[in-house]
Amino acid sequence: MPRPYDFSSMTALICFEAAARNAGFKAAAQELNVTPAAISHQIKALERDLGCAVFLRRHRGVELTEKGAFLLVAVQRGFETISDTVSRLRDRPDAVDVTIRTTTAVSALWLTPKITAFWKIHPGITVSQIVSDVPGSAGRHDIGIGYAVPGDDGGEWREIFRDRILAYGTPSFAREHGIAGVGDLLRAPLIHMNDDNAWTSWADWFRELGHPPPFGRSLFVNNHMIALQAAEDDVGAVLGWEGLMARILQGGRLVSLVPESIPSPAAFSLRLSPRASARARLFADWLVQG
């Protein structure tokens, strides 16, 4: 009897999603409590089944191919639908006081440390995150946080911060490509965001600074964390938002390549659901004031 769904192995898809989200087999293995070799085996089986590569293997991790990025969006949408349904079936409204939906980059680079600080002040309030780079209302949540223009959707919008956008890369990348000014970046390898989250593009950035579009080698990814990892691996320069880059810059892995920047056309904002509880509103007030 034919299968009702044209799926690859679910185990392989789970390993693929974890490896793509973590930008590496080792981190995915730690998350799934298996060995990196097991992750590699599942990914190879998936690629054989699909007849194409889903990852480019790099020295310090992996990068999605174009087809891999396409698959990741589909897999995450499916997993999020399942997760939403499971959460509803579990019916545990008292277990979590505040549920926040945000992107991988905002969670890793900015929000998670904020939640840790909030817990120290309000240890009795439980905060949970739904992390997704797929636009939409994945799962039921009290607060949505992201790089967005407020919409007329019934929610209560609050601006958290409005940033400046700069070009970042490694010191060795700057030396190798002779980056001394904005014009030098036009011909340098650049990492582009190719997603649905309305990130400011390199073409937008150059235009605001009075330059034509870039003409150097391009790498397209659909996840800002993967873009930053690629920049750390000297693949190219990447655009970054000052408010999100502080922790990475402290480590010296990436530096600002040129002093020029542009104001962000959109703000990092939060959206409070009309159903948000008093505790969710308390967290939102604290976040905006901080």
| The pLDDT value given to residue 46 | 92
What gap in Å lies between CA 274 and CA 153, rounded to an integer?
A: 10
Across the range 232-249, mean pLDDT stands at 89
287 phi and psi, to 5 degrees?
A: -65, -45
Is the domain of 117 the same as that of 153?
A: yes
By residue count, the chain amounts to 290
235 pLDDT more than 90: yes
**Domain end point (choices 86, 115, 148):** 86
Contact at 8 Å (CB) between 72 and 222? yes
Is the domain of 154 the same as that of 188?
A: no
Is 107 within the bounds of a domain? yes
Is the domain of 38 the same as that of 174?
A: no
Is the domain of 173 the same as that of 35?
A: no
Is the domain of 170 the same as that of 211?
A: yes
Q: Where are the beta strands (DSSP E) in the chain?
A: 55-58, 61-64, 98-102, 127-131, 143-148, 156-161, 164-169, 190-193, 218-221, 238-241, 255-256, 262-263, 267-272
| The pLDDT value given to residue 115 | 92
pLDDT digits (tens, 9 = 90+) for 38-57: 999 999 999 999 999 999 98
Is the domain of 280 the same as that of 230?
A: no
Residue among 90, 94, 97 nearest 118 (CA): 97
Residue among 104, 119, 142, 60 nearest 244 (CA): 104
Residue among 38, 59, 154, 142 nearest 99 (CA): 142
Is the domain of 101 the same as that of 156?
A: yes
Is 184 within the bounds of a domain? yes
Is the domain of 71 the same as that of 117?
A: no
pLDDT digits (tens, 9 = 90+) for 253-264: 899 999 999 998
Nearest 5°: the CA angle 59, 173, 201 is: 95
Residue 276 CA, distance from chain mean position = 25
CATH value at residue 212: 3.40.190.10
**Domain end point (choices 53, 69, 86):** 86
1 pLDDT more than 50: no
Domain with 124, as residue range(s), is 92-162+267-289
Residues 6+ apart with CB under 8 A from 187: 214, 215, 216
Is 25 within the bounds of a domain? yes
Is the domain of 168 the same as that of 251?
A: yes
Is the domain of 81 the same as that of 112?
A: no
Is the domain of 238 the same as that of 272?
A: no
pLDDT digits (tens, 9 = 90+) for 80-129: 878 777 766 665 555 678 999 998 889 988 999 999 999 999 998 989 88
Is the domain of 67 the same as that of 198?
A: no
Is 1 within the bounds of a domain? no
Buried b (16+ CB within 10 A) or exposed e, 156-178: ebbebeebebbbbbbeebbeebe
pLDDT band at 179 (very low <50, low <70, confident <90, very high): very high
Q: How many domains would you assign to the chain?
A: 3
Q: What percent of the chain has pLDDT over 90?
A: 47
| The pLDDT value given to residue 130 | 86
pTM, rounded to two decimals: 0.64
Contact at 8 Å (CB) between 239 and 168? yes
| The pLDDT value given to residue 82 | 82
What tokens appear for 100 in the block? 């926040």
Buried b (16+ CB within 10 A) or exposed e, 50-74: eeeebbeeeeebbbbeeebbebbbe
Burial (CB count <10 Å: 0-12, 13-18, 19+), residue 32: middle
**Domain end point (choices 18, 51, 86):** 86
Is 3 within the bounds of a domain? no
